[in-house]
Amino acid sequence: MDAPTVNSLEAFWMGFTNNRAFKADPRLLARAKDMHYYTTDGRPVLDAVAGLWCVNAGHARPKIVEAIARQAGELDFAPTFNLGHPLVFELASRLRGVLPAGIDHVFFCNSGSEAVDSALKIALAYQRAVGEGTRTRFIGRERGYHGVGFGGISVGGMVANRRTFGALLPGVDHMRHTHGSSPPFTRGQGETGAELADDLERLVGLHGAETIAAVIVEPVAGSTGVLVPPKGYLERLRQIATRHGILVIFDEVITGFGRLGAATGAEYFGVTPDLQCLAKGITNASVPMGAVAAGAHVYDAVVNGAPAGIELFHGYTYSGHPLAAAAGLATLEVYAEEALFARAASLAPYWEDAVHSLKGAPHVIDIRNLGLVGAVELAPREGAPGARAAEVFHRCFERGVLVRYTGETIALSPPLIIDKGQIDEVAGTLGEVIAKVG
């Protein structure tokens, strides 16, 4: 065995990565500022994906950096079981200003995956609290991504993420995804396909409403290639769920905090869920944090309706960590001071035109967009699924633009501080690279 070296790439087992390929040809980032990463050899890379859909206010914003540094020296850690610290209460209260009316309690965790598993557990606790303890089933959706916990992969619909792991939550069923309900190159939401929401009605018929606790969807499915819901779909899903006493969980880990040009997907679509999963942009990704935002009726049933004592046997050591709370508060201030959600809304038409300018480029079979999200889907290479998109990612990185690939799709989700010149640079580089890949 080789002697371990301090700079060996071998010891770190990377997630969702081809470890052997990466370690043979690594891409290492050393620092970041505003719209750019800088590689270890000092090359700037324009960040067209906000890190991983999360650095919505841009990188290393001074206000957030200072808040974290100050907090680390002031109160490095405090438990939130039977104790508290003021910042976490303040953050929960301030988040009310961002969440839809009626969603007014916040349970903190540390990631999107934890937010999803927490929301599923809260849904079960709610149904029990209102005397509906037979409701233990969840309904997810094909091509959904809800993180990597056992709950999340069970309700999710990304086949590779489920296949290896065997034992998933029992009783889960899935609605069909909405992809393809509108013609390729549809801008924004499509006009057709709202009736796909009737899958929930069909599953109620199959299993009985009295067995179903909640339905969970991403308002816009991100990780499986940016699937924009058709007009009327989420509204219809909400109506069916309400009719049958089923809670609606919106997984807003990507769509939260301005991505669509509104505070949340719920606000953008005008559809209020019972529970919302948040993470990523909640702290501008500067300190890990996730959250479940709950409707007043859910909190009331689970907490105020319970006998004296602990109401919910669930929580994490780092729930509401002081550094994350400080980062979250500073992040909300940056979003508000710079009106970044409105900025995303005002840039969205320019973004849409830029992304759709790639229509007609070789291999491009579909383009989708909403808010500051874009997706360029490429035809698969024969016998090598995903290879063309992977090559586009690598070549763009070499050319100084960070994009993301998932399956055959190039996904784009820049920080909301992007300017028009940088939007042109993203679309221009992508177009040139796509024209060159075989």
If the CB atoms of residues 201 and 218 are measured against ligand PLP, the closer one turns out to be 218
Q: Shortest Cβ distance from residue 419 to ligand PLP (Å)?
A: 25
> Which pair of tokens denotes residue 227?
């699937």
Taking the C-alpha atoms of residue 123 and residue 215, their distance in angstroms, rounded to an integer, is 10
Q: Shortest Cβ distance from residue 253 to ligand PLP (Å)?
A: 4
Q: Shortest Cβ distance from residue 288 to ligand PLP (Å)?
A: 7
Q: Shortest Cβ distance from residue 151 to ligand PLP (Å)?
A: 11
C-beta separation of 131 from 166 below 8 A:
no
Torsion of CA 17, 317, 146, 15, to 10 degrees: 0
Closest residue to ligand PLP, based on beta-carbon distance: 112
Q: Shortest Cβ distance from residue 379 to ligand PLP (Å)?
A: 25
If the CB atoms of residues 285 and 358 are measured against ligand PLP, the closer one turns out to be 285
If the CB atoms of residues 147 and 229 are measured against ligand PLP, the closer one turns out to be 147
If the CB atoms of residues 218 and 267 are measured against ligand PLP, the closer one turns out to be 218
C-beta separation of 263 from 276 below 8 A:
no
Q: Give backbone dihedrals phi and psi of 329, rounded to 5 degrees, phi first.
A: -65, -45
Taking the C-alpha atoms of residue 102 and residue 293, their distance in angstroms, rounded to an integer, is 10
If the CB atoms of residues 13 and 382 are measured against ligand PLP, the closer one turns out to be 13
If the CB atoms of residues 256 and 261 are measured against ligand PLP, the closer one turns out to be 256
Taking the C-alpha atoms of residue 356 and residue 406, their distance in angstroms, rounded to an integer, is 19
Taking the C-alpha atoms of residue 140 and residue 24, their distance in angstroms, rounded to an integer, is 38
Q: Which residues bind ligand PLP (CB under 6 A)?
A: 111-113, 116, 145-147, 218, 222-223, 251, 253-254, 279
Q: Shortest Cβ distance from residue 346 to ligand PLP (Å)?
A: 25
Q: Shortest Cβ distance from residue 369 to ligand PLP (Å)?
A: 17
Distance from the Cα of residue 212 to its chain's centroid: 24
Q: Shortest Cβ distance from residue 383 to ligand PLP (Å)?
A: 29
> Which pair of tokens denotes residue 4?
């371990």
If the CB atoms of residues 289 and 376 are measured against ligand PLP, the closer one turns out to be 289
If the CB atoms of residues 199 and 252 are measured against ligand PLP, the closer one turns out to be 252
Q: How would you class 372 by CB atoms within 10 Å of its CB: exposed for 0-12, middle for 13-18, buried for 19 or more?
A: buried
C-beta separation of 397 from 29 below 8 A:
no
Q: How would you class 77 by CB atoms within 10 Å of its CB: exposed for 0-12, middle for 13-18, buried for 19 or more?
A: exposed
Terminal-residue alpha carbon distance, the chain: 40
Q: Shortest Cβ distance from residue 280 to ligand PLP (Å)?
A: 6
If the CB atoms of residues 112 and 230 are measured against ligand PLP, the closer one turns out to be 112
Taking the C-alpha atoms of residue 257 and residue 255, their distance in angstroms, rounded to an integer, is 7
At position 14, the amino acid (one-letter code) is: M
If the CB atoms of residues 57 and 216 are measured against ligand PLP, the closer one turns out to be 216
What is the residue-wise DSSP string for 244-283?
TT-EEEEE-TTTTTTTTSSSSHHHHHT---SEEEE-GGGG
Q: What is the largest CA-CA distance in the chain?
A: 67
Q: Shortest Cβ distance from residue 238 to ligand PLP (Å)?
A: 18
Count the neighbouring beta carbons within 10 Å of the beta carbon of residue 213.
26
Which uninterrupted H or E stretch holds 402? Answer: strand 401-402
